[in-house]
Amino acid sequence: PAGAKEDSYSFLPLVHNIIKCMDKDSPDIHHDLNALKTKFQEIRKVISTMPGIHLSPEQQQQQLHSLREQVRTKNELLQKYKSLCMFEIPKE
């Protein structure tokens, strides 16, 4: 599903069609240009709803650093708990 979502936002097929239309002087170029414009508008809407888009790049970096620290700390705790053998599964 993630790959399909990424493919739906690919601009390459439209750009390729536009170039082909330009080479052939095809009237379809207007249709393809409108489709490209529509796709840009859709992408702008998606981007505006992304979490953290309202933050500055510096704030995003700080948040990323904080989240990485949390992951590091939680991994250390997991390793500690594993070493205490609390999660051993009894053999049958």
Tell me if 47 sits within 8 A of 10, measured CB to CB: no
pLDDT band at 4 (very low <50, low <70, confident <90, very high): very low
pLDDT at 88: 60
The answer, as to whether pTM is greater than 0.85, is: no
pLDDT at residue 75 in the model: 95
Residues whose CB falls within 8 Å of the CB of residue 28, separated by 6 or more in sequence, listed in order: 17, 21
| pLDDT tens-digit readout, 25-80 | 778 888 888 988 999 999 899 988 988 888 899 999 999 999 999 999 999 999 88
For the record, the structure tokens of 16 come out as 């390729």
Q: What is the Cβ-side half-sphere exposure of residue 9, based on CA atoms within 13 angstroms? A: 12
